[in-house]
A and B are shown apart, each in its own frame.
Chain A
Amino acid sequence: MVTCSSRGSTNSPSTVKCAGVGAVLIPCCLEMTSGGLMAAILLIFISDGALGTTTAPTLEGAGFRGSDVGLSLESPGSLFGWDASREGRPLPRWVRGAEDLPPRPDWDSSAAAWWMTSLAEPLAVGESCRQLLWDFAQSSASLISCVVKNARPVRLCEECTPQFQSLWEAFANISKNSGNVSCSKQLLRSDRLQLVLNMNNYLRKIWTDSMCDACLNENKTAPSMDTLTFRKMLNDSLSCFDHYSLKRTALKNNSDVCVKCKVFYNNLTEWYYSLVDKQSLCIDIIDAMNLTQQLWSKTYNCTVPCSDTIPVIAVSTFLLFLPVIFYLSSFLHSEQKKWKLMEPKRLKPCSSTAHIEDRSS
C-alpha cells in the first residue's frame, strides 16, 4: 500500500513515496520527527489537490483585476506652462466606472476560488465585506497610478487629492463597524500580512510627507486661495520665460528674459517667501519653485553676481588685524602679573633633601 521511509529526517517528498490517500500516511510514519510530520501534512494537501482540481494559483483574478479601473479624475486643464507637452500623451484608458462594476466578479471559474467558496470563504470574508475590499482595491490602485504618474515634476497635491479622498473613504468604510458583521476585523486583522492596513498606512504616509494639507482649503477638497495665487504667478513667470527665451534661442545671452521677466519672477519669489512664513507649503509648490529658480539662475543665468570683493577684503583685513595689534600692544605694554613666593616652614629641610637623594639614588 504505502511505502514509507521510516527515517523522519528525510522528509523530502521524493523519499516519501506515497501513492494513495494521504490520511493513511500518518499511522505509518509514527516515528517521524516534526519536520517529517510537516511534510506529511503537506502531502495530504498536495494529494488532495491532485485528486480534486488543478492547483494553478490564479489569484490575480481575485486581486488586481481592477488595476486599470479607476475614477477618471484627470484634472480638466493643466495650469502649468510646460505641461503643454503632456496634452499629446495618450491618456490612460478608462475601461469602466466604479459604479458599473459587477457586484460579484467571476470567482467561480478559478480553481482557488473554488477552494475558497467551497471551504473557507464564508468563514473568512462575508459578502458585504468583500465588496468593501473591492472598493478599497480600486481606489488604492487608481491612487497609486496617479501618484506615480505625477512623481516628477511633483504634482501630487494638485492631481491626486480626489483619489486620496476616495481612498480615505473606502478605508473608513472598512474600519467602521456596520451591522453585526465586523469587516474591520475580517479584513484588517485576520492575518499576518495585514495588507489592507499596511497599504493604507503607506499611502497615508505619502500624503503626510507631501504636506498637501497646507495647500488645500479648509474642506481639504480644493486648492486654497494662496495656492491658486501662487499658480497664477508661476504661470505668468513661466509664460514670460517662454515668450522671451523662445524668440532668442539663437542668442546665448538671455538678458532679455532677465530684464523683462524680473518683475514676474520677483513677485513670485516674494509670494513664495510669504507662504514660507505662513508655513502653507506643500511639496508641489516647493518643487515648482525650486525648478523655476533653477531655470532662472542656471538656464537663463539671471542671478546678479555680487562684485563687492575689494571692499569686503579691505574690511575683513582690517578686522583680522585688530587682534594682532591688541596682542602685540598688550605684550609690549602690559606689566606682567607677579606672584610672591611663600616659603613653607619645614622640619630640618637640609637633612631631608639629602635624605631623599640618598634613597632615590
Chain B
Amino acid sequence: MANVANKVSWSSKDDEGRPGESTPLLNGSPSASPSPGLSRQLSQNNFFRIDRLTTVNLDDDTAQDQDGDSSTYVSKEITHNENLLSLKYESLDYDNSENQLFMEEERRISKIGVHVLEIKRWVVCGFIGIFTGLIACFIDIVVEKLADEKYKVVKENIDKAIEGGGLSISLVLWASMNAGFVMIGSILVAFVEPVAAGSGIPQIKCYLNGVKVPHVVRLKTLMVKVLGVISSVVGGLAVGKEGPMIHSGAVIAAGISQGRSSTLKRDFKIFEYFRRDTEKRDFVSAGAAAGVSAAFGAPVGGVLFSLEEGASFWNQMLTWRIFFASMISTFTLNFVLSIYHQKPGDLSNPGLINFGRFQSEAVQYNWYEIPIFIIVGAIGGILGALFNRLNYCLTMFRIRYVHRPCLQVIEAVLVGAVTATVSFIMIYAIYTYDCQPVGEDPIKYPLQLFCPDGEYNAMATAFFNTPEKSVQSLFHDSPGSYNPLTLGLFTLSYFFLACWTYGLAVSSGIFIPSLLIGAAWGRLFGIFLSNVSAVSTWADPGKYALMGAAAQLGGIVRMTLSLTVIIVEATGNVTYGLPVMVVLMTAKIVGDFCIEGLYDIHIKLQSVPFLGWEPPEKSHALTAREVMSYPVTCFKKLEKVGRIVDILSDTSANHNGFPVVDENHEPDGDNVGRLCGLILRSQLIVLLKHKVFVERASSNLAQKKLQLKDFRDAYPRFPPIQSIHVSQDERNCTMDLTEFMNPTPYSVPGEASLPRVFRLFRALGLRHVVICDGSNGVIGIVTRKDLARYRLHKGQLEELEMAHT
C-alpha cells in the first residue's frame, strides 16, 4: 500500500510535509484483497460527471464485480471528482482525554484558579479583537495607498494618450501592472502556502466542524493571506478583502490563544492551559467572528456567523465572549482608521466596507414592495445558482488540469491581465453612450477617461475603482447617474470575471464581487421599475441596488441569519431587516433548488469529510456494525514497546486512536477484547519520546513523572514516529498505558443506527466511537470518515470512496 502520510494541502499542491502530522483517522487496515461482495460501479471517466460512485442500494448484480475487479482494485487510480473523501484530513480532538493526569490537574485547580482561567479567556478574546482590527486596518490602508497610486499612474497615462495617441500602450501598461501585482500574490499563495487561497471561509467552516485542515491556522498562512489579499485587490481582480478577514481573524485567534508560534519558534509561556483542540476551537470561532465584525462593521453579524458555521458546539458564556471580541475588533478598526484619517474620535468607519447611510425618505420601503423584493430574491437565487454551477465546472477543471503551482501562477496572471483588458474595453466602448455631465448628479468619484471635458464616464466609476467604492457609488449615486446599458454591460462582464476569479490561487473574497454584481443588476431593476410605473417616488434605484446585492450574495453563499444581520448592520438601518430577510430567504430557496452554496461546493470538491447538520436521510437502514471499520488494531494495557512502534510506523494503517483492551480477557468471536480505554497516537508518541517504560521507571526513580504539560508542549505539531529513536533494547520494554489512556471513551453497541452515531458525533465533536458488543468487547471503531462517506445524492444514499494522491 502506498504511503498514506504523503500530505496534500488544500489547493491540491504536493507538499513535503511531515508524515506523522497528517495521519488519517481511518481505523481499520485496508486489506490487499478487496471485499468480495461490495458492489462497485466502475464507469468510464466522464469529464464533468461523477465517474465513480457507490450507491448502497444498487440493483446491479454483485457477482459481476466480484471477479472483475478484485485484482486491479487496490492500485486503482482515478481522476478527481466530487465523490471522494481525501485521507489527508484528520479530525480534531474536541473531546478531552480524561486520563488520570487530566483528572489530577483538574482536581488541583483551586477556586481562584478557575477565576484566573476565566479572566485569561477574556483577555485572549480582547487581544483577538484588537489584533484582528489592526490587521484589517493594515490591509485597508495599504490597499488604499497602492490602489490610488496605481490608478493615478494609469489615469495619467491614459490622459496623455488621449491627447498624443498610443492608447494601446496605456492598455498594455494597465494590464501589465495588474498582472504584476497578481503575480506577487499568486506566487506567494501557490509556492509558499496554498491553503491561503480563496476566501478561507470553507476552510474555517471545516475547522469549526472538527476537521483539521493542514496549515490552516498557522502564522505563515496569515502572512501569505494578508499580503496575498493586498496584491490581488490592488491587482484589480474581481475580489474583495472581506472574506479573507475571517480567515485572518481565525489564525490570529489560534495564535494568540496558544501563547506561542511554532512558525517563529517562540514560546511566551503563557496560556498553556489553552493548548488543546477544545479550547483552541472556541477561540477560533471568536476570531472568525472578529474577522466578520472588522470586515463589515457588524459585531452581531460576526457572532451569528460563528453561530451559523460552528453551532454544534456552543454555550452562553462563549457567545458573550465572542461578542466581546467582535465589538473590540470593530472598535479598534474604527478608532485606528479615524486616527489615520486625521479625525481622531470620529468613529465612522466601523468596517472595511461601508454601505453608507440609507436614511432618506426615498429609500424607505412600503408594504406593497415586498412582492417585488421576492422577485428580486428569486432573480438573485437563479443568478447565484448559475454562478455556482459555472464555478463548479471551472474548479473541477482546475483541480484536474491546473494543479501545478507554476500553472496556477500563470493562470492568475492571465486573469489579472484579462480583467484589466475587459475593464478598458468597457470604458472605451461606452464613452460615446454614457458620458454624464459633471456636477449634475452629485457623485463621489467622477472619472473623465475618454469623455469630453466637463463630463465623466459612468462605466469608469464602476470599473476604474476599488470594488468597495464602486459598491458605494451604485448604492448612493443619484438615480440618473448610470444608464441601463452601462449597468447591463457591467453586470454581464463582472459576473463572468468574478466567477472566473474565484478559485484561483490568490487570496480573494467573494462577498464584494457578489455585492457588486447584485448592486448593478438591482439598480438596473430599480430603473426599470421607475420607468414602468408612473409613480416613481418609491422605486429608488439605490434601494433596489441594495436588495439586488443582498439577493446575489445570498444566492451565491446561501448564508441566512448571519448574512441578514450583516447587511442590516452594514446599512445601519434596522427597518431593512424584513426586506433583506425576505430577499435572502427567497434567494436561498430558489438557489437550493438548483445547486448548493459556493462554500459547500468547494468543501465537497476538496473531498473533506464534513459532517452536515443532520445525518443523511434514508440512512436509518444502516447500523453501526455496517459502517464501522473492522478489525480494530488494539493495544493491551501493558504493551510491548516494539509492537507500539511497529504499529505506529506502519504507513499502510495510519490509525490515530487505539482502543485499549483488557489483557486478561480472551477475545472471542468478533471482538478483540474487553474495552478499557482509548489512547491516541499523539499520546503514544509523547510517551515514546519521554521513554516512559515500566522497566525504566523501576530502575530510574529519579526520573520525573510525566505531566500533562509535556503533552501540551508537543501540541499541535507532534513529531512523526520516524523521528523517535527506539533502540533494540528498548523494544523489549513494556509500556503501561493505564495512566495515560482515556478510561471512559464513548462507545455504542453495534446495533445503533447510523443517524444515532452521527448525532453523537456532531453534538459532542467526537473523533472515535468504539463499537462494542453486549459484553463490552471491542468489535469495531467508527470515525468521522466512516460517517461522512454516506451522502444523499438524487434521492439515493451513496457511499463515497476513500482516496489519496
Q: What is A's interface to B at a CB cutoff of 8 Å?
A: 269, 286-287, 290-294, 296-298, 303-304, 306, 308, 311-312, 314-316, 319-320, 322-323, 326-327, 330-331, 334, 336-347, 349-357, 359-361
Contact = CB atoms under 8 A, between A and B. Distances in A.
A322 B415 CA distance: 10
Q: Which of A303, A345, A355, A357 has the most chain B CB atoms inside 10 A of its CB?
A: A345
A355 B424 CA distance: 63
A356 B57 contact: yes
Nearest to B453: A293
B103 interface: no
16 contacts: A297-B452, A306-B167, A316-B424, A319-B171, A319-B417, A323-B414, A334-B402, A334-B403, A339-B77, A341-B74, A341-B78, A341-B803, A342-B87, A343-B73, A346-B627, A360-B618
Nearest to B670: A347
Nearest to B435: A297
Nearest to B805: A339
B78 A345 contact: no
Interface string B660-681: 0000000000100000000000
B455 A297 contact: yes
A312 B452 contact: no
Contact of B439 (A286, A323, A352): A286
Contacts of A294: 437, 453-455
B75 A344 contact: no
Given A297-B455, A342-B804, A316 B407 contact: no
Given A340-B803, A356-B57, A311 B421 contact: no
B114 to A, nearest CB: 43
Contacts of A351: 37
B2 A347 contact: no
A298 B26 contact: no
Contacts of A297: 452-455
B743 interface: no
A326 B631 contact: no
A322 B77 CA distance: 32
B513 to A, nearest CB: 18
Nearest to B87: A342
Contact of B36 (A319, A344, A350): A350
Given A334-B404, A353-B56, A341 B452 contact: no
A312 B428 contact: yes
Contacts of B171: 312, 315-316, 319
B421 A340 contact: no
A316 B73 contact: no
B402 A344 contact: no
Interface in B781-805: 786, 797, 801-805
B262 interface: no
A346 B417 contact: no
Contacts of A326: 410-411, 414
A337 B399 contact: yes
B82 to A, nearest CB: 12
A319 B57 contact: no
B412 to A, nearest CB: 11
A43 to B, nearest CB: 40
The secondary structure that dominates the A interface is helix
Q: Which of A336, A341, A354 has the most chain B CB atoms inside 10 A of its CB?
A: A341
A349 B438 contact: no
B313 to A, nearest CB: 27
Contacts of A306: 161-162, 165, 167, 450
A353 B40 CA distance: 11
A273 B801 CA distance: 65
B35 A315 contact: no
B74 A343 contact: yes
A293 to B, nearest CB: 3
A255 B641 CA distance: 98
A308 B166 contact: yes
B28 interface: yes
A238 to B, nearest CB: 14
Given A339-B803, A340-B2, A344-B26, A356 B31 contact: no
B38 interface: yes
Interface in B749-804: 779-780, 786, 797, 801-804
- Interface residue range, chain B: 35 or more
A304 B57 contact: no
A359 B621 contact: yes
A67 B68 CA distance: 105
Contacts of A327: 397
Contacts, number: 203
B64 interface: no
Given A293-B452, A316-B171, A345-B631, 12 more contacts: A297-B452, A303-B452, A304-B162, A306-B450, A334-B402, A334-B403, A339-B803, A340-B2, A341-B77, A342-B4, A347-B670, A350-B35
A286 B79 CA distance: 63
A296 B454 contact: yes
A339 B437 contact: no
B418 interface: yes
A345 B76 contact: no
B235 to A, nearest CB: 15
Contacts of B74: 341, 343
A80 to B, nearest CB: 17
Contacts of A296: 453-454
Contact of B453 (A269, A312, A323, A347): A269
A274 B35 CA distance: 80
Contact of B168 (A287, A311, A346): A311
Nearest to A290: B439
B477 interface: no
A347 B779 contact: yes
B570 interface: no
B208 interface: no
A286 B442 CA distance: 12
A269 B57 CA distance: 78
Nearest to A154: B439
Contacts of B172: 315
A329 to B, nearest CB: 10
A340 B76 contact: yes
Contacts of A320: 418, 421-422
B163 A341 contact: no
Nearest to B81: A339
B175 to A, nearest CB: 6
A64 to B, nearest CB: 30
A338 B453 contact: no
A308 B158 CA distance: 12
A338 B57 contact: no
B710 to A, nearest CB: 33
Contact of A345 (B58, B629, B779, B805): B629
A323 B501 CA distance: 13
B418 A345 contact: no
B30 A342 contact: yes
Interface in B613-645: 618, 621-622, 625-631
B707 interface: no
A337 B400 contact: yes
Contacts of B622: 356
Contact of B418 (A287, A322, A359): A322
Contacts of A361: 57
Interface string B315-331: 00000000000000000
Contact of A349 (B35, B403, B450, B804): B35
A344 B168 contact: no
Nearest to B450: A306
B38 A349 contact: yes
Interface string B155-189: 00000011101111001100100000000000000
B35 A308 contact: no
A347 B805 contact: no
Contacts of A341: 73-74, 76-78, 801-803
Contact of A340 (B75, B453, B628): B75
B735 interface: no
Nearest to B14: A337
Contacts of A338: 77-79, 805
A357 B73 CA distance: 23
